[in-house]
Amino acid sequence: MFKTGSLFILFLSMNLEAAVPSVKVLIAKSLKNIVVEGIDLRKTIHTQKVSQQYAGRKVLSFNCGNQKKNVRNFPKNALLVASLSSPTGLVSWGKQKYKGELQLLTNPKQESCDLVNLVPMESYLTTLLSKEMNGTWPVEALKAQAVAARTYAYDRIRRGMKVENEDKLYHLESSEKDQVSGSYFDATKNTLLAAKETEGEILVGPSGKIAPTFFHSKCGGKTLRPDQVWGGVEEGYRSVNCTFCQSTGMRDWKHQMKGEKLTSMVDQVLKRYYADQVKGDGIRVMPDSIHNSEVRLYAGDRLHIIKKSYLRNLAGREILPSNNFVIETKNNQIHVEGSGYGHGVGLCQLGALELAKRGYDYRQILSFYFPRHRMRKVY
């Protein structure tokens, strides 16, 4: 069992008058037609600089297939076409209701629209917790997730609209690429309480710097640092041994593949990430440990050391559900055995669930998975 000691929970700053920030979340891509519904809707067409208010319930349709024809000097980057809001605070798209404002964006590379939800941070978190965890889980586990997810989103807001080196009109996506959020009815009593009782709390590194806070489903026994998975160094991360997720979620997994398949995968990884390629016949894998972040193998007579996360990116999550695995050759077949689910960095969600069940609070849970981080209240 780990010791909590005095913990890292130190409030570095208090600004109780700071406003709750809003986050722009991409909730759908490449839509040809969009139908939005609400009561007393306010519609603003930004390309024409006009606004209109509708009394009572109104259904509005948008054809996104010919945006270039409607806009002169079409820009190179995304364009805000329209925004819709309601004094009730809710706007419907399809079968879902969303708090805040819905915004239609277009991109000149495709004749379609993307849909963005502009929503206050705390409302965003109440729906996200049901998607990234489960709305019925213990409140302390949900509170730990709330702080981690808020930190990730707050960092994206702080960085502005830069996504993948391109100018975007949103902060993050509702997907596994960033964080999966939901709609109004995904919020539960527990998620509402978890967001309220951690309002404005984020994690910072040892120097006080705000940085992304990552999480995943199940570490499989040991968490990883960002540099072990993606190559970039983030301040304060430490790999920790975790036994708390072992009895729940996906069990240990195994797959088989032909030697030619592994050779092809290694060749593609070498070309994509190392400006190299397989030279010689066959692949020989050196003895390995499941929690090593790299695999050592010979292609011909050349030794290559490659990140397991690069193999996972190429093979996909169905073949390699996590970055904790070992590759062996048995009877001319390649055997892959592993544990866990997800990239393995930061908060282990199933581990947090077990700790909450054992009576640990969210501060203790976060201090275990982020032992060098500290808490900061930003609003």
Give the per-residue pLDDT at 313: 93
Quick one: pLDDT band at residue 300, thresholds 50, 70, 90? confident
- Residue 74 pLDDT > 60, yes or no? no
Quick one: pLDDT band at residue 191, thresholds 50, 70, 90? very high
DSSP secondary structure, 143-196, as one string? HHHHHHHHHHHHHHHHH-SEETTEE-SSSEEBSTTSB----GGG--HHHHHHHH
SS3 229: helix
Quick one: pLDDT band at residue 6, thresholds 50, 70, 90? very low
Give the per-residue pLDDT at 363: 98
Residue 68 lies in a domain: yes
Look at residues 121, 144, 160 and tell me which one is the last residue of a structural domain: 121
Residue 93 lies in a domain: yes
- Residue 52 pLDDT > 80, yes or no? yes
Determine contact, residues 361/230, Cβ cutoff 8 Å.
no
Residue 6 lies in a domain: no
Residue 143 lies in a domain: no
Give the per-residue pLDDT at 33: 93
Higher pLDDT, residue 74 or 215? 215
For residues 137-154, average pLDDT: 98
- Residue 69 pLDDT > 70, yes or no? no
Look at residues 121, 136, 158 and tell me which one is the last residue of a structural domain: 121
Tens-place pLDDT, residues 8-50? 444 444 454 579 999 999 999 999 999 999 999 999 999 899 9
Residue 228 lies in a domain: no
Q: What is the span of the domain harbouring residue 287?
A: 253-338
Residue 58 lies in a domain: yes
Residue 159: CB atoms within 10 Å = 12
For residues 204-233, average pLDDT: 94
Number of domain units in the chain: 2
Residue 67 lies in a domain: yes
Q: Considering only CA atoms, which of 247, 234, 169, 184 is closest in space to residue 206?
A: 234
Give the per-residue pLDDT at 176: 92
| Best mean pLDDT range from 14-28, 55-69, 81-95 | 81-95
For residues 53-78, average pLDDT: 76
pTM: 0.89
Give the per-residue pLDDT at 66: 63
Give the per-residue pLDDT at 14: 46
Residue 17 lies in a domain: no
Look at residues 71, 105, 121 and tell me which one is the last residue of a structural domain: 121
Q: Considering only CA atoms, which of 224, 227, 262 is closest in space to residue 339?
A: 224
- Residue 227 pLDDT > 50, yes or no? yes
Number of H helices, E strands in the chain: 9, 23
Give the per-residue pLDDT at 369: 98
